[in-house]
Amino acid sequence: MSNPEQIKHAIEIRTTKPFTDQKPGTSGLRKPTKTFKANQYFENFIQAYFDDLTETMNGKPPTLVVGGDGRHFVRESAQIIIQMAAANNIKKLLVARDAKMSTPAVSCVIRKYGTDGGIVLTASHNPGGIDNDFGVKFNIANGGPAPEAVTNSVYDKSRQLTNIRLCPTLTNIDLLTLGKHTYEIEGRSIPFEIEIIDSVDDYVQFMKEIFDFDKIRNLLNGEKGKFPIMINALSGVMGPYVLRIFHQELNAKNAVTVKNCENLEDFGGHHPDPNLTYAHELVEDMEHGDYEFGAAFDGDGDRNMILGKGGFFVTPCDSLAVLAANLNVIPYFQKHGIHGYARSMPTSGAVDRVAAKNQKLLYEVPTGWKFFGNLMDSKLISICGEESFGTGSDHIREKDGMWAVLAWLSLLANIDRSVEKILHAHWNTYGRNFFTRYDYEEIDGPGPFSMLKKLEQMCMSNELVNKSFNTPYGNKQYTIKIMDDFHYQDPVDGSYTEKQGIRIIFTDGSRLVFRLSGTGARGATVRLYVDSYENNPSTYTKDAQEMLRPLVSLGLEIAQLEEFTGRDKPTVIT
Ligand code: G6P
Ligand code: ZN
């Protein structure tokens, strides 16, 4: 019998028609799954990426990591990438077993093995399945999402593409068995290598270096009394990581109740976004009061939601601030020191207060994890986060849901066993930034764009600055100090990004931000972010929605949101 690996595989050059809409958004290219599967849409995008890579690598054959969040089309698309990589002079692919790997694990593996980048097959928190979404994200050699210079260049290439290259005989590669394979490809001077790697191993190893697992194990196993927790993976890619870390490494089966830890192609119908609306099952489980701590992840494992006993909600903005204030309990930071902090612009200013107290630099970047990469590479920041349920540190270059959970458990093991008490102590020290976000999802038609245009015009004309407004609800008065369209110059490479959201900053420091989502795959999604600071302790335990209603009502009035969008209420409030 001939060894199939000794066959020389021929390269086919197939003609294709370019698409004009393959422009990556906030985090890669996301479209309905059916769009990716039709008319070589996926193949075209991958070819544009390989063409760009060949150019930037000056012909040096790259090594790449490939993994995805397990949604429908991930396995199939990994097989397509293999066929195309062989024909595009890729030296080696490190492919996750069954093509499943969390986004943070991809980042970890890229860095650990020094690869030239990676391809992440995910639409993150968007629902999966044939009738939902699929996505592709490129990461670079630092392990982080490709910056705009790269994604723009791939986009330019995608619009001119005439051919795709592939090895059609390289079919049905066994992605389930760990190991290395080498293939001879016609016309290539070097063979093509594939290594199927355990997608959980390297990541778990790294977490054990970062955190004190013994301490967390003792907490969960009741050294100082029972500490039951609940983790819900929403049927995303995190299931195997949760089971491995909590049930095996931490040996805490009795304390850690898990739900939805089987990774399903359609995420079991879940909308795998860990927020109060879509992770409602976790909220309900926590409300019974049986668990001290609860957490959920999104489809690809980079987002997290943290809840305390009884369903006490920790906003991602507060989570970032509290972790920043207490990093010293985590061995990784004891070893590497703590540089500055960063947050995305719409994220509340809670972490700014920690920075001020600790005399650390605070960077405010546009929405999107890619903007943190340079700051971490240059050791300007150690921790960063976003209101969109993303928290992470410079251990990798992606936000990291499991990292956030282990960081919180470290605080609970070292500082106080109650999430709520940790938050109250924090507010008592720093004051409280009340924060909320209203989402108006999937709006058809031009309304949202016209609304943003109008707000942009108001910024340009400065017509509202120094004007005072009575809020339609609650009759409070606010005066606008600054109104602008956020722009950012990267302090490391000088790159400039504009039109990143309308900011209205009031004289008391409260803020309203309007922007359009860059991650949706259908229609337009308007986000309204509201951030207001209080340092009167009697307000700290108040309900954020109640506290912020006056400001929300003013925001809706200034933007004439209902008139432009036809929506009288948001689809999601976080
Ligand atoms: C992804 C990115 C985040 C970003 C978020 C914003 O999750 O990884 O860095 O904050 O999208 O999404 P949006 O829909 O608001 O553009
Ligand atoms: Zn995600």
Atom 2 of ligand 1, nearest CA residue = 368
- In sequence order, the 6+-apart residues with CB closer than 8 A to the CB of 533 are 349, 431, 432, 433, 434, 508, 509, 510
Are 542 and 517 in contact, with CB atoms under 8 Å apart? no
Q: How far is the CA of 124 from the centre of ligand 1 (A)?
A: 9
- Tell me which of 106, 365, 388, 528 to substitute to probe ligand 1's pocket, judged by most ligand atoms within 8 Å of the beta carbon: 388
* Separation of CA 369 and ligand 1 centre (Å): 7
**Residue 13 alpha carbon to ligand 2 centre in Å:** 34
Asked whether 436 lines ligand 1 (CB < 6 A), one says no
Distance in angstroms (rounded) separating the CA atoms of residues 14 and 501: 41
Q: How far is the CA of 331 from the centre of ligand 1 (A)?
A: 29
CA dihedral 248, 284, 572, 353 (to 10 degrees): -70
Q: How far does residue 143's CA lie from ligand 2's centre (Å)?
A: 15
Please give the distance, rounded to the nearest whole angstrom, from the Cα atom of residue 234 to the centre of ligand 1: 19
CA of residue 349 relative to chain centroid, distance: 20
User: Which atom of ligand 1 is found nearest the CA of 25?
Assistant: 16
Q: How far is CA 176 from CA 82, 122, 196, 199, 528, in A?
A: 15, 19, 8, 11, 44
Ligand 1 centroid distance, CA of 388 (Å): 6
Q: Could you tell which of 122, 275, 370, 519 is best to mutate to test the pocket of ligand 1, judged by most ligand atoms within 8 Å of the CB?
A: 519
Which domains, from first to last, does the chain contain?
A: 4-199 (3.40.120.10), 203-430 (3.40.120.10), 432-573 (3.30.310.50)
Q: Give residue-wise pLDDT tens across range 6-43.
A: 789 999 999 999 999 999 987 899 999 999 999 999 99
Closest among 119, 138, 121 to 24, alpha carbons compared? 138
pLDDT tens for each residue of the chain, 574 residues long: 334 557 899 999 999 999 999 999 878 999 999 999 999 999 999 999 999 999 999 889 999 999 999 999 999 999 999 999 999 999 999 999 999 999 999 999 999 999 999 999 999 999 999 999 999 999 999 999 998 899 999 999 999 999 999 999 999 999 999 999 999 999 999 999 999 999 899 999 999 999 999 999 999 998 888 999 999 999 999 999 999 999 999 999 999 999 999 999 999 998 999 999 999 999 999 999 999 999 999 999 999 999 999 999 999 999 999 999 999 999 999 999 999 999 999 999 999 999 999 999 999 999 999 899 999 999 999 999 999 999 999 999 999 999 999 999 999 999 999 999 999 999 999 999 999 999 999 999 999 999 999 999 999 999 999 999 999 998 889 999 999 999 999 999 999 999 999 999 999 889 999 999 987 767 899 999 999 999 999 999 999 999 999 999 999 999 999 999 999 999 999 8
301 near 103, Cβ under 8 Å? yes
Contacts (Cβ under 8 Å, ≥6 apart) of 223: none
Distance 27 CA to ligand 1 centre (A): 6
Residue 515 CA: which ligand 1 atom is closest? 15
- Radius of gyration of the CA atoms of the chain, in A: 24
Active site residues: 124
Mutate to test the pocket of ligand 1, among 386, 400, 441 (most ligand atoms within 8 A of CB): 386
88 Cβ closer than 6 Å to some ligand 1 atom: no
Nearest residue to 215 via CA among 424, 422, 415? 415
The pair of structure tokens assigned to 320 is 């970032």
Distance 277 CA to ligand 2 centre (A): 16
What is the atom index within ligand 1 of the atom nearest the CA of 387? Answer: 10
> Ligand 1: does its nearest atom lie under 6 Å from the Cβ of 519?
yes
- State the distance between the two ends of the chain, measured CA to CA, in whole angstroms: 61
Which numbered ligand comes closest to the C-alpha of 102? 2
Output the pTM of the full model: 0.93
Residues in Cβ contact with 235 at an 8 Å cutoff, skipping those fewer than 6 apart: 260, 262, 263, 264, 267, 268, 270, 272
Q: Is 278 in the pocket of ligand 1 (CB under 6 A)?
A: no
Q: Which ligand is nearest to the CA of 519?
A: 1
Which ipTM was obtained for this model?
Answer: 0.96
Which pLDDT value is given to residue 5? 52
pLDDT single digits (tens) 344-396: 999 999 999 999 999 999 999 999 998 999 999 999 999 999 999 999 999 99
SS3 352: helix
Q: Are residues 305 and 315 in contact, defined by beta-carbon separation less than 8 angstroms? A: no
| Euclidean distance between CA atoms 560 and 451, whole angstroms | 8
Beginning with the edge strand found earlier in the chain, give each strand of the sheet holding 117-121 in spatial order: 8-9, 179-185, 192-197, 92-100, 63-68, 117-121, 133-140, 29-32
**The ligand 1 atom nearest the CA atom of 388:** 10
The distance of Cα 401 from the centroid of its chain, to the nearest Å, equals 9
E-assigned strand segments in 456-523: 468-470, 477-485, 488-489, 496-497, 502-506, 511-516
Are the C-beta atoms of residues 256 and 312 closer than 8 Å to each other? no
State if residue 517 touches ligand 1 by the CB under 6 angstroms criterion.
yes
Whose CA is closest to atom 3 on ligand 1? 368
Alpha carbons 532 and 313: distance in angstroms, whole number: 17
Q: What is the pLDDT of residue 241?
A: 98
Phi/psi region, residue 140 (left: phi>0; alpha: psi -120 to 50; beta: rest), is beta
pLDDT digits (tens, 9 = 90+) for 264-286: 999 999 899 999 999 999 999 99
- Give the closest residue to 221 by CA, choosing from 249, 262, 260, 259: 249
**Which ligand neighbours the alpha carbon of 298 most closely?**
2
Residue located nearest, by CA, to atom 9 of ligand 1: 368
The residue with tokens 């240059």 is: 378
**Residue 303 pairs with which residues in a beta bridge?**
390
The finding on whether 390 has its CB within 6 A of some atom of ligand 1 is yes
Residue nearest to atom 4 of ligand 1 (CA): 368
The C-alpha atoms of residue 532 and residue 510 are separated, in whole angstroms, by 4
- Ligand 1 near 304 CB (within 6 A): no
Ligand 1 atom with least separation from CA of 344: 10
User: How many Å apart are CA 522 and CA 35, to the nearest integer?
Assistant: 12
> Does the C-beta of 115 come closer than 6 Å to ligand 1?
no
Q: What are phi and psi of 370, to 5 degrees?
A: -60, -25
Question: In 258-347, where does DSSP find H-type helix?
Answer: 280-287, 316-325, 331-336
Looking at all shown ligands, the one closest to residue 344's CA atom is 1
